[in-house]
Amino acid sequence: MIEDSVLGPYQEIITARAKDKKIRGKSQDGGIVSAMLIYALEENIIDGTIVAGEGDEPWTAEPKIATTKKEILKAAGTRYTMCPNIALIKEATRSYGLEKIATIGTPCQVMGIRKMQAYPMGVRNVTDKIALSIGIYCMENFPYESLKTFICDRAGTTPAQVTKMNISKGKLFIKHTNAEEPFAIPIKETHGYEQSGCNYCLDYVAELSDFSCGSVGAKDGWSTIIKRTNKGTNLINDAIDNGILELTETNEGKFGLEMLRKLSANKKKKNQKRIDKKLDMGLKIPFTHSSKKEDVLENR
């Protein structure tokens, strides 16, 4: 186990993608999350998962329980808005009778899962049924109204006409049916539109997950996977051995792992300054009940 102050604890970092072209075609980047959920389901490692499905309006997100390959693929892709996946954990166990649940979440959601497992107040006999925690890289997330501002006011289209959104190379790309090329918004121009809690989060790469993944550090169509726990590492290795995932060389340079480390370090540094400023003002902040700066990281 490597104890890394920037990327969190991990065993190995690899670059991979789903071997199944149909899965990749429905997914955001390398299709890792969808492929691993389907593999875990077929191997009886899990009997269901909580996914971020589409809500009543285009590009809204709603937590849903998936127990089949078809349901998992229906929820594939990224929606850059909040989705309270954790809210369905009780229902997954009690209404659906799931005994081995997979969860997929942003760093803050993974943190919530681990806190529930450590202190299962109100969720007894539930958290021990969480069989797998998958984390996705996240710098910040947006309320739906912010997304509509990007789509309608900036890109000049409507949510119903958007076919894909992606954050890459410092820009938010909005692909829609009214133009051949995606509309690009520099990420620096989206600051101020994110949900406020994102400004106090110190985790970019879901450090507490079984494994985490995202497109940063990988070439187009591939994903960077950080194997963290024994459970996550063994699952990824088995998927590779059984031809579910295929590997490519991991880029250690400026546009590879150096970029991943840079973004993770920048999030910690930037948001720690915000935390310190609030504490200096005597204000409470998320993730801690301490009034001492040195305790923020320990108790977050």
pLDDT, one tens digit per residue, over 213-264 is: 999 999 999 999 999 999 999 999 999 999 999 999 999 998 899 999 999 9
pLDDT < 70 regions, the chain: 286-300
Nearest of 225, 279, 221, 289 to residue 257 by alpha carbon: 225
Q: What is the DSSP letter of 182?
A: P
Please report, as a single letter, which amino acid is at residue 15.
T
Can you tell me the distance from the alpha carbon of 232 to that of 163, in angstroms, rounded to the nearest whole number?
Answer: 32
pLDDT of residue 182: 92
What six digits make up the tokens of 298?
A: 């320990």
Nearest of 35, 3, 2 to residue 16 by alpha carbon: 35
pLDDT of residue 286: 67
pLDDT of residue 219: 92
Can you tell me the distance from the alpha carbon of 234 to that of 140, in angstroms, rounded to the nearest whole number?
Answer: 30
This prediction's pTM: 0.90
Nearest of 123, 20, 128 to residue 76 by alpha carbon: 20
